[in-house]
Amino acid sequence: MLDCELNKRSQLQMALLLNSEEAYQWEAKTKAEQMIRADILFLFFGVLIFSSCDGLKNKEEKKQAMQNQLVVTAEGDTLENGFWTYDKGIAGVSQRGSYEDGYKIGKWIYKMNGDSVSTTWRVINDKSAKFNLPDHFKPINDVEPPVLFQADIEDNDDNTYLVLLRYNLTELKSSAYDYIYQYNESWKSNTKEILKSKEFKKFYFEGIEVFRAKIETERETKYEAISYIFVVNDFLYDLTYKNAIGKSSAIDLEIFNDILYSMECEGVDLFNYNSKKYLKEENIEFKSDPINLMK
């Protein structure tokens, strides 16, 4: 009986041992499978995340590649084309919009310190000049020489405007220096406005010299007239923008500069992409005789 009981216990112990081993093997197998599944899931999500980041990176690269594109013409001009963005410049103004062959087209957004201005650009092709014009500058049709183009500004002020003058220096037997001198002298006899300040500078760009006159006057309201004067093929051009001080902002001046940089006169593109930064500037001081200015 004892032997029989021992045999039963031995068989029972063996069964328990076998069952525990099988249970251990099953548990180990389960843990291994769980670890494999976890590794597979980790690799799957890792690949998914990597693919997503890689996709975002490629999209960003494609977006960047599609922006700020340049085209080179048969004449060698480098022109902006497609969608462009500009970070904050010297005046702190950023802007974005589209170009077509170097000219702004459609809607552009200008931003500065939380302020935002939207304007729509078009191209004016008027006789000997081609340039950009924003939609809040309204052209005046009836103009006579030396006025080549004139526009009123939608700001409820009749004293603000944009004007482009053109003179034949050969016929006048004159020069840009004579013109600048007479421009300065004319303020001495002006009785309609009080002259508050004036500044004359000369900027050297690649292939062209540009004079700038800044005149501040007062007549009930303070005004600033900015004139850019340059010569192309013996024709003198005077692009003047008059604005009310306190009512205009750095964005307005940036828009005016965009008009200047879009200028094409006598078939000459004055400021292509590679020549919009001046190389040097200097002050202009006047003497009694305009001839002395040319020495």
pLDDT (average), residues 41-57:
43
CB 235 within 8 A of CB 168: yes
**The pTM is what?**
0.76
Residues 83 and 20 in one domain: no
Spatial distance between the Cα atoms of 236 and 181, rounded to a whole number of angstroms:
14
E strands present in the chain: 69-72, 78-86, 94-100, 103-112, 115-126, 129-134, 137-139, 147-153, 161-168, 194-205, 208-219, 221-232, 235-244, 264-265, 268-269, 280-283
Residue 34 has pLDDT above 90, yes or no: no
CATH number of the domain where residue 200 is located: 3.40.1000.10
Helix (H, G, I), strand (E, B) or coil at 91: coil
Spatial distance between the Cα atoms of 48 and 279, rounded to a whole number of angstroms:
52
Residue with tokens 């013996």: 234
C-alpha torsion 38→44→47→53, nearest 10: -100
* Residue-range definition of the domain harbouring residue 16: 1-66
pLDDT (average), residues 56-82:
75
pLDDT (average), residues 68-75:
88
Name residue 219's amino acid.
Answer: R
Select from 22, 50, 66 the last residue of a domain. Answer: 66
How confident is the model at residue 59, as a pLDDT? 56
Residues 44 and 129 in one domain: no
Cis peptide before 146 (omega within 30 of 0): yes
Residues 123 and 39 in one domain: no
Residue 189 has pLDDT above 90, yes or no: no
Backbone angles phi, psi at 81, to 5 degrees: -150, 145
How confident is the model at residue 61, as a pLDDT? 52
Q: Which residues pair with 84 in a beta bridge?
A: 97
Residues 57 and 161 in one domain: no
Question: How many structural domains comprise the chain?
Answer: 2
Residue 3 has pLDDT above 70, yes or no: no
Residue 12 has pLDDT above 70, yes or no: no
Residues 111 and 214 in one domain: yes
Select from 26, 47, 66 the last residue of a domain. Answer: 66
Per-residue pLDDT tens over the stretch 115-141: 999 999 999 998 899 999 999 999 999
Residues 122 and 61 in one domain: no
CB 94 within 8 A of CB 113: no
CB 98 within 8 A of CB 104: yes
CB 272 within 8 A of CB 131: no
Residues 50 and 90 in one domain: no
Residues 51 and 136 in one domain: no
pLDDT (average), residues 166-192:
93
Select from 26, 44, 66 the last residue of a domain. Answer: 66
Question: What length does the chain have?
Answer: 295
Residues 112 and 194 in one domain: yes
Name residue 161's amino acid.
Answer: Y
